[in-house]
Amino acid sequence: MKKHNFSAGPCILPQEVMKKASEAIIELDGIGLSLIEISHRSKEFVEIMESARSLALELLGLEGKGYKALYLQGGASLEFLMVAYNLLENKAGYINTGTWSSKAIKEAKLLGDIVEIASSKDKNFNYIPKGFVVPNELDFLHLTSNNTIFGTQIKEFPTTSVPLVCDMSSDIFSRQLDFSKFDLIYAGAQKNMGPAGTTLVVVKEDLLGEVTRQIPSMLDYQVHISKDSMFNTPAVFAVYVSMLTLQWLKDLGGIAAIEEINDKKANLIYSEIDLNPLFTGYAKKEDRSSMNATFNLTDNALKETFDNMWKDAGISGLNGHRSVGGYRASMYNALPLDSVGVLVDIMSDLERKG
């Protein structure tokens, strides 16, 4: 039986995407060859790469606005470094909202002066800092839109004249935003748009070429742009499945349509967390993520009973990250509302029994 997959990443993908992807491993679109045994320079794969790139820009509403989409390797973790290589000349600002922001700061510090403009470390990252002032002289301001581990999400982005760089690994394509406010967006595919192995980078081209350092070719966004994201062999399978997932999203009605479903899922779980006395939410209410809901039992003696109940119901991937404990329900785009319904029923069953 197919499980209800609440995994934080790699995570659930649409069933129809999985089916098409598995078929393409045997034979891609009737060409007599597998997707993974053809040249990345073949007409077939070049078309896949081009539609993956244009679908990303189209869904984000960034077509014709000076942006390029790239599918790179090395995960979001390599972007922590690449962003600094390509954009950091003097000083950059970071908002530290969790484990991933902290890692981004650590890498950028290798290349220049980094200021932590605000941080929520004082409360183990259970909220999003607000009301901070962004100095004008920064090369860029780096944000993490959704904090996968702690379950917080930025709802209001700072208004500033400084270029905005955002790690959107765990909520890209999940909610409507004015994406043109950002100058560079990156996201590891495996959270909300595909399998592990590729990272989407969407960058405003005129931001590049300003730093004085020598950039190694593989770390240079301009090199990847000039080669249409094919400077070296791309992760063909991951790009193909990301393309299928973006096509699935487009057919569904795009980000506006999925946001409505995502809001329903988030409302369902958070109202149960708030109404059920056996559970307590981890993140500050106003900063709660619609992608990753983090929560705890109020009485740990119920842990074994609760764990057995959700496992028996076919739920998978609900354990919290080791740095937070408790539970984390990751509700990415492909997770059906019904799966959240199953979880919420178990939570209220526990209350009835308890």
Ligand X SMILES: *Cc1c(COP(=O)(O)O)cnc(C)c1O
Q: Which residues have a catalytic role annotated?
A: 100, 167, 191
Peptide bond into 14 cis (omega under 30): no
CA 170, CA 200: separation in Å to the nearest integer?
12
CA 309, CA 3: separation in Å to the nearest integer?
14
**Residue number, 194 or 346, with CB nearest to ligand X:** 194
Under 8 Å between Cβ of 127 and 153: no
Among residues 1, 17, 81, which one has the least CA distance to residue 251? Answer: 17
Residues binding ligand X (CB under 6 A): 9, 75-77, 100, 144, 148, 167, 169-170, 188, 191
Amino acid sitting at position 136: N
Q: Write down the least CB distance from residue 277 to ligand X, Å.
A: 31
**Residue number, 139 or 167, with CB nearest to ligand X:** 167
Q: Write down the least CB distance from residue 81 to ligand X, Å.
A: 11
Which residues touch 72 (CB under 8 Å, ≥6 apart)? 78, 79, 82, 198, 199, 201, 224, 229
Q: Write down the least CB distance from residue 298 to ligand X, Å.
A: 27
CA 322, CA 300: separation in Å to the nearest integer?
16
CA 253, CA 59: separation in Å to the nearest integer?
10
**Residue number, 21 or 143, with CB nearest to ligand X:** 143
Q: Write down the least CB distance from residue 18 to ligand X, Å.
A: 20
- The CB density around residue 234, as the number of other CB atoms within 10 Å, is 25
**Residue number, 86 or 350, with CB nearest to ligand X:** 86
Residue 63 C-beta-side C-alpha neighbours within 13 Å: 8
**Residue number, 33 or 196, with CB nearest to ligand X:** 196
Question: Distances in Å between the alpha carbon of 207 and those of 67, 163, 177?
Answer: 10, 8, 21
> How buried is 156 (Cβ within 10 angstroms: 0-12 exposed, 13-18 middle, 19+ buried)?
exposed
* E strand or H helix at 68: strand 67-72
**Residue number, 7 or 247, with CB nearest to ligand X:** 7
CA 293, CA 331: separation in Å to the nearest integer?
8
